[in-house]
Structure 1
Amino acid sequence: MTGLVLKNVTKSFKEGDSTVDALKNVSLSVTPGEFIAIIGPSGSGKSTLLSIAGALLQPSKGEVLVNDTNIGQMKEKELSSFRLTDIGFILQTSNLIPYLNVLDQLLLVCKMKGKVTTKEVKFAKALLKDLGLGQKLSKFPNELSGGERQRVAIARAFVNNSNVILADEPTASLDSNRAFEVVKQIRYEVKERNKAAVMVTHDERMLEFCDKVYRMEDGVLTLQN
């Protein structure tokens, strides 16, 4: 189990007649059970890195490995399936579906792979209980607080037992107390379920919960002391 590895990844975009490198020779290794943070100014390349790690963008150069599988060599159909089974995303807003209750938010993700099994229902319920939502299974998003909605989003990211968890500003829409609660919950699940996790954040108060902190500036990634 090697987790997530980026080897000398460069991502270039065309802008008119010139080429811009959003990522410059980035290398990163996140082992199972490790929770790392990436900080840096807007436009520094953080979101591009997350998109490449999540198989949403292909690198221009370099390799991206998830548990020794080179996702840079996959075709689009394979990538789509891989994202569903191996990558869990937690976004700035919970993006819950208004007409689905809490349990069904998770089961919808399972259903995208095929028929939902009894084992998957049991796992989804266990995840929600783990995150303090055991009494909220039949509640709809408008009946939940902001922190509860984000906890549902965390459970949804873990429900397919993905190998890699990617969190993009997961506390952006929360007040301080709920933000701390949400990041502590992400850390707990990462450790408990032995997942490789990367969180992009502007909120430096959350860094105490991370094992390592990297800084991204002008497409260059460096480990903070």
Structure 2
Amino acid sequence: MLIGVDVDRFQCPSGSGKSTLLSIAGALLQPSSGEVLVNGTNIGEMKETDLSSFRLTDIGFILQTANLIPYLNVLDQLLLVRRMKGKVTSKDVEFAKTLLNDLGLSQKLTKFPNELSGGERQRVAIARAFVNNSNIILADEPTASLDSNRAFEVVKQIRKEVKDRNKAAVMVTHDERMLEFCDKVYRMADGVLTLQA
């Protein structure tokens, strides 16, 4: 399921709470009150070492910019994340290649970030978010740095990966055109989420 959180750029260009929402959902920040439940587990009660492991295995992040490591090729961008989880097996390498192939990057495995277009870099970031088979994908304005055509392509690919792999995703965006690809849409203003009818 892909959930869209629409942040009105004119009513609340900043300070609406989107970054805080994603940081709390991604176990990067502790909530000041209340509970954050993920698959029935209150992550607010987890120890820091457990939170690190949780972030690595249960959450995949897609940011506004791809944030690729300049000296790693496309395949190694994904394998580095796998390596953080433990030893990389041949099965891990095949899964990474499958992800990249599904995102149209099978011919780019040995390319470096400076040899890729903006859309290609963002697709690598999508694959990286899925490489640890995370249950939840958090996307923070993943189309912000892309032109319209590439933006639509990226959101369609996020949706396809979420559906094909039976995952959940939350995407925060200012671009209302991207919301048509979401199963549910919430609007955020001044830290308050409301379900759009």
Q: What TM-score results when the alignment is normalised by the length of structure 1?
A: 0.84
Displaced runs of 4 or more, over 3 A: none
Residue 8 of structure 1 aligns with which residue?
none
Matches within 5 A, 1:183-194: 183-194=155-166
Matched, 1:174 2:146: yes
Matched, 1:74 2:46: yes
Distance 2:29 2:54 in 1: 13
Match of 1:133 among 91, 105, 108: 105
Matched pairs, number: 192
Matched, 1:221 2:188: no
Residue 51 of structure 1 aligns with which residue?
23
Fraction of identical pairs, as percent: 86
Shift of 1:39: 1.4
More helix as a share of residues:
2
Contact 1:39 1:46 in 2 (8 A): no
Contact 1:38 1:214 in 2 (8 A): yes
Distance 1:201 1:176 in 2: 13
Q: Higher relative CO (CA 8 A, sep ≥ 6), structure 1 or 2? A: 2
Residue 118 of structure 2 aligns with which residue?
146
- Structure 1 or 2, whichever has the larger Rg, is 1
**Deviation sequence 1:74-97 (CA, Å, 0-9, x none):** 111111111001000000000001
Distance 2:196 2:19 in 1: 19
Matches within 5 A, 1:147-166: 147-166=119-138
Match of 1:205 among 134, 152, 177: 177
More strand as a share of residues:
1
**Deviation sequence 1:181-202 (CA, Å, 0-9, x none):** 0000000000000111000000
Which amino acid letter does the alignment assign opposite residue 188 of structure 2? Answer: M
Unaligned runs of 5+ in 2: none
Root mean square deviation of aligned Cα: 0.8
Residue 35 of structure 1 aligns with which residue?
2
